[in-house]
Structure 1
Amino acid sequence: MDENFGNPAAGGGGNAREMVSTPAILLMVVGGITVVSALFGIVQNLVGSNEAAMAEMMNNPQIPEGAKSAIAAMSKGGIFSSLFQLALGSVTVFGGLKMKNLESFGLAMAASIIAIIPCIGSCCCIGIPIGIWSLIVLNKPEVKSAFRPS
């Protein structure tokens, strides 16, 4: 381990730890919301409550046919879409944790990029600015140099 790690006077991770703290916590929150939403979607698919809601929606005469076909196409992914969201949300939470601890630069970058991708998680409006903020902080030279070597 580097003797200068965490020592602000030696250019270590003290200031960098402060810089990454808030965006890392927010990445974990965004990932956590995505994980909870994905788990809810998985339960809905396993119980079959989505099918009943879809059948009711398809029989509603007030919804235009074009909208019905678009909704039906989006719902085809079902459990696979929820599992994909669960995996990406988990990576975001874990990457945020690693970012906060200045441990895995690559995973922190991956988590930040995943947060930016719209419509992956349940809170894309929040995830985009947080992911961009995380990338900006991660690309600062003093933050990059503070991460533990792999």
Structure 2
Amino acid sequence: MVEPDIPGENDPGPGRRLGVDVGTARIGVAYSDRMATLAMPLETVCRETGLKDRDKGDIDRLIELIEENEIVEVVVGLPRDLKGNGSVSVKHAKEIAFRINRRMGGNFPVRMADERLTTVAAMNSLHAAGRTTKNSRHIIDQVAAVEILQTWLDTRNTNLAKG
């Protein structure tokens, strides 16, 4: 069983965070404000890198986004089922997290966050905004990344406030 990281533990301090929702075809990306309180959609990156492949354009783009936005921590969604078990999607998420960390020098904070039901929450948000599934496909991954990151930020801020 794969366990997610705890928000706020080994925290790198103030600065922007990047949220990543790894899918088989696309990677949704969100980022936070500099105060690490609000998550916003950023981009959808076409997925190119498979397991054990060399880094490709998707990893290059994620690294560019980290550098362009002065990201201090990356939060990758960990796709587990409701019982907390992983699947092949967990391997993909862990692989992307590993590649980001490696490309950032091997000591960059890349965290795994529980993403259960984030796609469902993202679809509900889009439907509430009057969007259909068909006309939301190009942004659903970004909205899921926002859900992952916002949950992380909220829990992080609560945990840090507890001291």
| TM-score over 0.5 for the pair | no
Q: Taking structure 2 as the reference length, what is the TM-score of the superposition?
A: 0.23
Larger of the two Rg values belongs to structure: 1
Q: Which has the higher helix share?
A: 1
Q: Which has the higher strand share?
A: 2
